[in-house]
Structure 1
């Protein structure tokens, strides 16, 4: 059997790691490209977000500024939208596209979009599972405890579910964003293409995260087979 410190199953993660690296470089490259292109109307991303939220009757959802780069998010717990320093005051096509994407999440929340509700519901469980799955699994290997390994895998299945549900949530938010930007005229028809490029690039980070989660699951199953039957 392979020594414990040499884990050949790590090789299973290489394709997913390469995809994740490419996705990160892609989103940064595309965001930078369209961050340098100002929108014709010259509205800031924060103003665009406010206008779109108000259009859908979401006046109670505040738009905050948050530190960092691409840390933009919608928080369903307190129903607030946060835009990063690089987005909030920017009038670029990239920034407006990102802001509209977060508005898309707010709209999903307001209409009780099922995948978003499922994701929000499982977040606490996934948080526990993601922090405990690997420690339990590898303690199981050290102690030759099949039950601990199986429990680790079971907890990690919650992480897999989270990533699976995240994909339609993110794709739908981007679709809503591009539609409302076109309907309101905040971006012109030719500018919508640039916003779409930014959001499609961002979607690859979620795809890569899902692929990585599945690669990790396959790795755990391989390790379970390698060590689970030892005397």
Structure 2
């Protein structure tokens, strides 16, 4: 089998994994959003408690529209929780809230991977925006220099995704430990927390794998064009 065709098949398989991972995270969130946490605390209450316990009294907690739109904003130093998380006392809600607080704690402690990610963001944002146009233009015009530049910029965007992995895994690890230590969950509830956080982590792994395979495919196309 031609290696370019083989890589294309791998890319399609990885794309399928991305779609499956997205369905899984939504399914896990929906399932465990129906299970009330024994602590009875809402996502907001858990977030506020974690932040205060770690001396982050100046970090705000705000609701944001949508579902699975939860994130930590390092610029305004705000944990933003989707409304289903902010107001709910479910396993899903407190798991997500704890995870986002994990990012706020990383920021306070200047966690290495997070610092690197923040520094890479402006360049990665620019690169991911322009790389597709250079890649497509290079292929259509048969301009190898243009295509090569597109590959370099795309590689920057992929590197950003790779750096994101330890940031997300570390935030989830912190969240689990905090939830157990603070008594937000009981032992039998750890399974649900794991399901929610692992499903979310899988989406990052799948997306990164897809991006890496795409990068390798572009490199092979570039090398074959020079033959």
TM-score band w.r.t. shorter chain: over 0.9
Distance 1:141 1:179 in 2: 49
* Residue pair 2:36, 2:89 contacting (<8 A) in 1 also: yes
| Secondary structure in 1 matching 2:170 | helix
Distance 1:128 1:160 in 2: 13
* Structure 1 segment 1-231 matched on structure 2, within 5 A: 10-229=8-227
Which region of structure 1 is more displaced relative to structure 2, 126-135 or 170-179?
126-135
| Secondary structure in 2 matching 1:64 | strand
Distance 1:91 1:144 in 2: 56
| Secondary structure in 1 matching 2:191 | helix
* Residue pair 2:114, 2:167 contacting (<8 A) in 1 also: yes
Point out where structure 2 has 5 or more consecutive residues left out of the alignment.
none
* CA-CA distance at 1:10 after TM superposition: 4.4
| Secondary structure in 2 matching 1:38 | coil
Give the root-mean-square deviation of aligned CA atoms: 1.5
* Residue pair 1:156, 1:217 contacting (<8 A) in 2 also: yes
Runs of 4+ in 1 over 6 A off after TM superposition: none
Structure 2 match to 1:3 = none
Distance 1:180 1:95 in 2: 15
Residues 139-195 of structure 1 deviation map (CA, whole Å, 9 limit, x = unaligned): 222333222111111111111111111110000000000001111111122212211
Query: What TM-score comes out, normalization by structure 2 length?
Result: 0.94
Distance 1:133 1:167 in 2: 22
Distance 1:219 1:135 in 2: 17
* Residue pair 2:39, 2:183 contacting (<8 A) in 1 also: no
Give the number of equivalent residue pairs: 223
Distance 2:213 2:84 in 1: 33
| Secondary structure in 1 matching 2:81 | strand
Point out where structure 1 has 5 or more consecutive residues left out of the alignment.
1-6
